[in-house]
Amino acid sequence: MCGLCGVLGGEGDWTDRPTVPFSSARTRRAERLERARVANLVLAQFGLELTDWQGAKYQLASRTGRAEIVDNLAQLWQAAERILGRACDPLDPALIARMERLAQMDW
């Protein structure tokens, strides 16, 4: 499939739905950028970064330059595991504890 077809195709995922239905307070783009910002809080612990790509997909990249385009946040963790070559569990208790410590340091 060519790059353009990949951008145009596919149905939306539930993670792309507006956080507040029928609200005009935030644009779709602003909500996508906010989702990427929040995901990056966790992804940074794995040395990864998520960016909005063309307003339709996301790009997940490592510090070494490996990258994948994902359609939505549901595909994010599978892509992260392929890039890193190891398991990537955002619900790992040790990861959550480390992030809680980091959050306390920011206060």
**pLDDT tens across 75-93, in order?**
999 999 999 999 999 899 9
* pLDDT higher than 90, residue 12: no
User: Distance of alpha carbon 41 from its chain centroid, rounded?
Assistant: 10
Pick the more confident residue, 107 or 43. 43
Q: Residue 1: what pLDDT?
A: 41
Q: Residue 14: what pLDDT?
A: 46
* pLDDT higher than 90, residue 105: no
Q: Residue 27: what pLDDT?
A: 82
Q: Are strands 67-70 and 57-62 parallel, antiparallel or unpaired?
A: antiparallel
- Contact between 60 and 50 (Cβ < 8 Å): yes
**pLDDT tens across 28-75, in order?**
888 889 999 999 999 999 999 999 988 889 999 999 999 999 998 889
* Rg of the chain in Å (alpha carbons): 15
Q: Residue 30: what pLDDT?
A: 86
Q: Is the dihedral of CA 29, 34, 36, 37 positive or negative?
A: positive
